Structures are given as structure tokens and as C-alpha cells.
Amino acid sequence: MKLYRLFVLAALAAYPVQSCASQSSSNGGPFGGSSGAPGSSGSSGSSGSNGSSGSSGSSGAGGSSGGSVDDAGLSDATIQGDAPSGSNCAPLETTQTSYVSMAAPGLAQAVAFDRTENDPVPSDAGTTPAGWNFYNFPGAMCRDGSPTGLYVRYGSVNKLMIYMEGGRVCISTHFCDHNPPNMATVFPGGSLNGESFAGSLLTQPGLQAPYTTGIFDTTMGTANPFYNWNQIYIPYCTGDAHVGTNPNGSTPNELGIGTPITQHFVGALNMQQFVARIVATFKTVDQVVLTGSSAGGLGAGLNYGLVQDSFGSVPVTVIDDSFPPFVGTEDITPCLQNLANGLWQLTGALPSDCAECTDFDAGGFVNIVPYWLQKYPNAHLGLVSSIHDQIIRLFLAAGQNNCTDTDPNLLSGLGLQGGDVPSFDGGQYDNGLTALRSTYLCTGRVASYFIGDADPDASDSNGTIDTLHEHIFRARFYDQLAGPGQPSLAQWMTDVVNGTNLAQIGP
């Protein structure tokens, strides 16, 4: 999906949530603004004065103010925003000046991870990879009710990368068949898993665990922007792109008759638990990157407010690999959004003050992009996608013709047409990416890396590069995927994370 970068939060309103933000002073603009001086002490915390603008940076935001969290750790804070005015850029224009806080419940009570702890992974599915710690979370669960948790690799710098695993979605009987229901189920193919129909039509027993390639490859040195960062890997077993709030969901059984199958679509509820302890553990970091691929990319984009508001004034960058937030209703159709919401109750994970985000007949959850850009005036977004991605086209095909066919086996032509999806043309996908880029270009805050067919050698047995799915955790992360003379995906992402170049790369 996308990549956001927040460097400055505006001042919290009357009842802000406590977080590690209260330890930080005002931040300057991401590209050179100087930091604001500390302000006078408030009744519940200190406020900061605005920082001066750098030569090409934006002005520093107000410092954090103190606030309260109730005994249950629940927050009902609002966050003051700086509404853009006179921008002549539709995605930035708003009259809204305050925003609800999305900070995780229980922040004040959250306990930091013990670096000496390494819990057994659920279901005896395997052992934790060397260099990583696994932490179980009582109460967190997969869609089949089995337990889940997360992995942590401790780094040597004061920065944190959070990766959200992908793996399709559960919206119908056969889509659910192609989605791991627990941590002990994976797609075949290792680091090539899930990049094509061939790698997605079957699942097999195996442990969901961090990769050793792409952004997880610590042998690449500074070529990997995260090689010495603290890293977190969040498995994916809820079938809801990490945004479900429905613990009592269900889907039809294989034959569509008889007792439905109980599904625990609780990805967002799990994330709230995860984020509270992540913040408690990494209170002193000065930058966070929230990223994910496919359903994890969608989850990263929709959970951005949860992570950013929980970390307070610490800048959070979101990198979305391979789930574009297409504008309008032609691609991510209203019936598809209503279908997902009916199963997952994703509205429970969206900001309550973003009415357009839950109006699925008028774009729905993709309207979260301008909402984030308006709420966080220094946020930046970046998106990675192949221009004919066969897997996302397969998902979007279920939304065509008023969602009359939601069987991925039929929508893919049983995989007999290679990487093509007859019911969602590659040209439509390409046009959707072009419209997406054009819509947000005026903001100057949205970067993109689109992968076409400029490099004829950039392919494998699963298809040509313009159709392959997910890129940042694969070995090709370090290749010039947009063609000769273009930066590698790793180089582009490094620039965006560092805030040095928000470039539009590829067709």
C-alpha cells in the first residue's frame, strides 16, 4: 500500500493519551527545519513552541502536552491538527482542525519485552530463527482460535522497523482456503512464496517466521536501510489484513450448506495489544518504520494512526508493498468493501471522525490516505507495486460485476492463463496506478516505485516482473526493478526513509 512519514505531531488537545511522546520535545521539519525550544510547563505536561522552518523543511510542531489515561488504559483524546489552507491540492484541503487519538488502549499499563525471554512458538510449528526472540500474547489469536504473537530482533541503533506479514484475505470459502488460518501454515516456495498464482493456490504446514532476504538481510550492510535496526515481525493468521474487530465472524463451509465455519477476525485487536508493548519496549527510539506486504501493506496503511498516535512525537514512516489504495470506486469496488466489512467489522479499526472512510459507496477505506495526510501535516507516503500485479488483480476481480463471483480458482482461470486475470485486466490495474500517482502528486508528499517490464531479465519461473507480487522481503529488493539507469528498490526506499528524495520511479 503505502508509505507515510510523520516527523511532527501537532499539540494534543484537552485529554491526550499518555505515551512515550511526553518525553520528547518538538521536532523540526523532516528536511532541515530546526527544532522548537521547550515551552512552559502545562498543568499535565510540557508544551513546546513551534520550531523555525528550515531551508526546505516545514516548521516544527507544538510540543507534546500531558494528558490522562483512564484506569483501563483507554484513551478518548483528540489531537489538534494544522489544517492546510490555500493548498490548491484536493487531498490536502480540509476544514477539520482536531482529530481523535488512535493510540493503543493500555499504554500506561503495558510491560516492556524481556530481552532474555524467548517463548516457544505456538503449535510446536518450529523453532524461533537465530537472532530473534518470540513473544506470546495471551488473548491474541488467529482466525482459527489458536494463539499468536510476534518476533523481535534487537538492533544496535535507536530505530525500529515493524513488518506486518501478508498472505491474502478471507472473504469467501475458497479465498479463505488460500489464507493461513494459524501460525503453523505457510505458502510454499520459501522467499518466493505468494508472488504468483502458482505460489498462492496451496498452503502447507510450516512456521511463519522472519525471512533472511530483502529488508531482513543483515549481510548487506548499509545497502539495507534496516540492517542494524531493531526489527519486529508480526505473523499473519487472522485473514482480515490486520484490521478486523470481529471475534465472532463466520464463513460458509466448503459446500455452502450446514454449519458455518467460525472465524476470529481480530487483526486490529491483536495489533492494539502488540503496539502497547512495542511502545513500552522501545520508548527511546527516534524513528519508526511500519511496513508490510500485500495484506500486510494494507494493514500497515490502516494501522498507521494506531502506531503513530501511540508513539506520539516519534516520527513513523509507513512502507506499503503491493496493496495500492486506488482512488475512486472502479477498482476497490463498494460491494467488495461492504463484503469485507460485513465479515471483519473493519469500521471498528478506522478513525471515528473520518466519515468518508466508512462510506464504502464513495471510496471507503482508501479515503484514509488524505485523512492521514491532513491529520499529520508532515506525513509522507510511499508505494511499491508491479504494474500488472496478478495477486491483487485476483482479489479485486472478486469485486467486479457486483461481487457475483468470489471464487479465486475461477477468477484466475485455474491458473491456466499464466499471470493473467481475465476478469480484471492488467491495463485497468496500470491505469489505476497512474490515477493514484496523479491524484497525490500535487501534495509533494507521496513517493512511488512502480515496476514494469523495463528489465526483461527481471523475472522468474512464476512470471515476468510486471505481474509478480510483493518485493521488499525478497532478494530482488536490491535489484534495479524499474529498469537500467533507475535506482534499486533498496536505494529508493532508503531515500524515502531518510527523507532525502521522494521520487516517482518507474512507469
pTM of the model: 0.83
> What local confidence, expressed as pLDDT, does residue 73 receive?
37
Provide the pLDDT for residue 77: 42
Residue 188, CB half-sphere, CA atoms under 13 Å: how many?
8
Q: What per-residue confidence (pLDDT) applies to 83?
A: 39
Domain ranges of the chain: 122-505
Grid cell locating 165: 506479514
Least confident of 109-113, 158-162, 195-199: 195-199
| pLDDT more than 90, % of the chain | 66
Residues 201 and 409: beta-carbon distance below 8 Å: yes
Most confident residue range from 14-28, 175-189, 237-251: 237-251
Quote the cell numbers at residue 387.
504494474
Read off the pLDDT of residues 393-436 as tens digits, 9 standing for 90 and up.
999 999 999 999 998 878 877 666 666 788 898 999 999 999 99
Predicted local confidence at residue 334, as pLDDT: 97
pLDDT score for 464: 83
**Residue 256 — pLDDT band, cuts 50, 70, 90?**
low
Element (H, E) at 296: helix 295-302
- Closest Cα to residue 137, out of 296, 267, 309, 300? 267
pLDDT value for 415: 64
For residue 270, pLDDT beyond 80: yes
pLDDT at 31 over 90: no
CA nearest to 67, candidates 84, 86, 43: 43
Q: pLDDT class for 258, splitting at 50, 70, 90?
A: low
Helix (H) or strand (E) holding 393: helix 390-397
Contact 77, 12 (CB under 8 A): yes
Q: Which range, of 44-48, 139-143, 200-204, 383-387, averages the lowest pLDDT?
A: 44-48
CATH 3.40.50, applies to 122-505:
yes
Task: State which amino acid sits at residue 164.
Answer: M
Distance between CA atoms of residues 306 and 350, nearest Å: 10
pLDDT over 70 (residue 244): yes
Range scoring the smallest mean pLDDT among 5-14, 286-295, 348-357, 393-402: 5-14
Rounded-to-integer distance, Cα 450 and Cα 437, Å = 10
pLDDT over threshold 90, residue 203: no
- Nearest to residue 3, comparing CAs of 404, 372, 428? 372
Q: Which of 107-111, 356-360, 419-423 has the lowest mean pLDDT?
A: 419-423
504-505/446-451 β-pairing: parallel
Residue 381 is predicted with a pLDDT of 85
Q: Which of 10-24, 193-207, 375-389 has the lowest mean pLDDT?
A: 10-24
Q: 210-213 — which CB contacts under 8 Å span 24+ positions?
A: 210/129, 210/132, 210/151, 210/153, 210/163, 211/473, 212/129, 213/473, 213/474, 213/475, 213/477
| Top-confidence residue, 345 or 191 | 345
Measured torsion, CA atoms of residues 11, 15, 21, 26, in degrees rounded to the nearest 10: 20
Q: Output the CA–CA distances (angstroms, integers) from residue 85 to 92, 98, 140, in the order listed.
A: 8, 15, 42
In order, the DSSP letters of 458-496 are -EETTEEGGG----TTSGGGGS-TT-TTSPPHHHHHHHH
Predicted confidence at residue 417, as pLDDT, reads: 63
Q: For the chain, give me the number of helices (H) and strands (E)?
A: 10, 19
Centroid of chain to Cα 435: 21
